[in-house]
Structure 1
Amino acid sequence: MTTIDLRAPSPSSPGAPTGDPVADEQRSWFGEVFRFRKAWIPSLVGIAVLLVVWQVVGLTIFSKSRTVPPPTHILSTMKEDGWEFYWANIQVTLKVAAKGWFYGNVAAIVTAIAFIQVPFVERILMQVAVASYCLPTVAIGGVLILALPTGDQPKIVLAALSCFFTTLVGMHVGLKSVDRSSLDLVRAYGGGTWTQLMKVRLRSCLPSLFAGLRIAAPAAMLGTIIGEWLGSENGLGVAMVNSQQALLIERTWGIALTITLLSAAAYGVTALVAKLLTPWAPKVGR
């Protein structure tokens, strides 16, 4: 008696292969695009609802105090301030944040590799890394301003410290979470720990590393802004402090919105690079 598998897709179903490689590739691409758009629908709806509630609350509850202006007033003030005002400060902040992000992540990657290759180092320096993460950024910033020469060095160090620990954890977890059989295979062919690192660990750790880098991008922006608050001549943090002191509420909100969008953009760019470089990584939310 013939048994029919009712779970198998019929040739006419959307997910069934057609036998034509070109057609199957096109259908797969359209499926990826559809899933991408579908995943963004809840986020877009949530943002739209937030903006509507924000607008209503700003026009009603906070209409007299003006401490929470509606989005339309903020956008109007940003338009009046002009692109030149924001771009001049954005350039300064992004330059420092990029340098801090680079130096902090390079230090984290090198430290994570040292932890794997020399376990004795991990037992000593991991506690130092945890302590550096627990220290208040404002307190460190005050010390750095006194200890380092004037200029961007204190802000760069703050940005680097802000992203160091998250990248270190991501890289370290990725280097340790490898397929043991692959390590045994390299060892069986005479490879040592450095061969295992180059052939197996570095490739396997990329998804976990990029997970840390995604968090490190906005963290570097936060460290830069705090450094500008503590002492600087220009930048988005300085512009925000000046607008606060001048009671320019809409401008203050506009600068805060700009910082938020820049942090989100940095997160998104890092996620896009991770998707392009690690297509084998498991997809989240599918």
Structure 2
Amino acid sequence: MARFGSVRWLAGLGGIVGLVVVWWIVGALELFGGTIPTPWSVLAEIGETGSTYYVDNFSLTVELAFRGFLWGNGLAIALAIVVILFPPVEGLATQLAILSYCTPIIAVAPIIQVAFAEVTTMIVFLAAISVFFTTMIGTLSGLRSPHAGSLDLIKVYGGGRFAQLWRVRSVAALPNTLAAIKIAAPAAVLGAVLGEFLAMPETGAGPAMIIAQQSGNIPQVWAIALISGAVAGLGYAVVAVIAKYATNWSSGTAAGR
């Protein structure tokens, strides 16, 4: 098993190295009219511009993405709980979740911009709506995952829906909920960056990328895009670590019960 894990790790590393090599060749040969810089030119751009520039811009983006992450996930989990406790609202709740997922952010943004005069509020809203559907559906699926026998046992002892939710469903829902939240972390970053593109605050990854595009600084555009991807990946990794330990705990708790 350990050997298989090592092989998989080496295969992943080899894939990354191969991708960087192909990127370097394409950039060096200028196969797409110079629109793809080499990895070295991107790193050189980061060094020349200085880390302060990127920290200043991404600190706001990360803050707004995190706020949207909390709001979106919090409301999604709350709505899933409401559906479990009051089943008649499921149709409306599901339609609301699907609407939030299917409606393009670009179409929603002008309405949100009119409704919320404050730029940061609009960006937080767009980050929140980017994570709402995934977390709501994942949580609802998890809350419905317990074995019927476990729920019947709570009924036998005089417990109702609230007791089932607290003692059985909440623990059983952790794996599915955390799996959805893992996906929500990078989605919140994407929503925040797109919101910055549309709202144009004074600082942020979105405005920084627009300025780099307008000035023709292709390496900086790539640098901002890659850092955005790294931030999204870091968010996914952090939630994945938390999910690993929380899932192990929930499995032990469920077994104990």
- Residue matched to 2:255: none
The correspondence of residues 64-143 of structure 1 with structure 2, limited to 5 A, is 65-143=33-111
Q: Secondary structure at the match of 1:279?
A: helix
Match of 2:178 among 210, 217, 220: 210
Deviations 1:8-41 (Å, cap 9, x if unpaired)?
xxxxxxxxxxxxxxxxxxxxxxx76x66544422
Q: Residue 47 of structure 1 aligns with which residue?
A: 16
- Gaps spanning 5+ residues in structure 2: where? 252-257
Report the Cα distance in structure 1 between the residues aligned to 2:91 and 2:236, rounded to whole angstroms: 31
Report what 2:235 is aligned to: 266
Structure-2 separation of matches of 1:157 and 1:279: 33
Structure 1 residue aligned with 2:132: 164
- Across the aligned residues of Structure 1 and Structure 2, the Cα RMSD in angstroms comes to 1.6
The Cα offsets for residues 196-239 of structure 1, whole Å up to 9 and x where unpaired, read as: 00000000000000110011001100110011001222101110
Q: Which runs of 4+ in 1 moved over 4 A?
A: 34-38
How far 1:76 moved relative to its partner? 0.9
Q: After superposition, give the CA deviation of every residue in 1:51-92 in whole Å (9 maximum; x if it has no partner).
A: 0111011111438x2100111111111111110000001110
Q: TM-score, normalised by structure 2?
A: 0.93
Measure the CA separation in 1 of the matches of 2:132 and 2:29. Answer: 43
Instruction: Tell me how far 1:280 sits from its aligned partner.
Output: 6.0
Compare CA radii of gyration and give the structure with the larger one. Answer: 1
Equivalences, count: 250
More helix by share: 2
Is the 1:183–1:200 contact (alpha carbons within 8 Å) kept by the matching residues of 2?
A: yes
Structure 1 length as normaliser, TM-score? 0.84
Distance 2:5 2:62 in 1: 29
Q: Partners of 1:178 and 1:48 in 2: how far apart?
A: 43
Distance in 2 between residues matched to 1:156 and 1:224, nearest whole Å: 7
> 1:62–1:69: 8 Å Cα contact kept in structure 2?
no
| Equivalent residue number for residue 190 of structure 2 | 222
Per the alignment, in what secondary structure is the counterpart of residue 173 of structure 2?
helix
1:152 has 2:120 as partner? yes
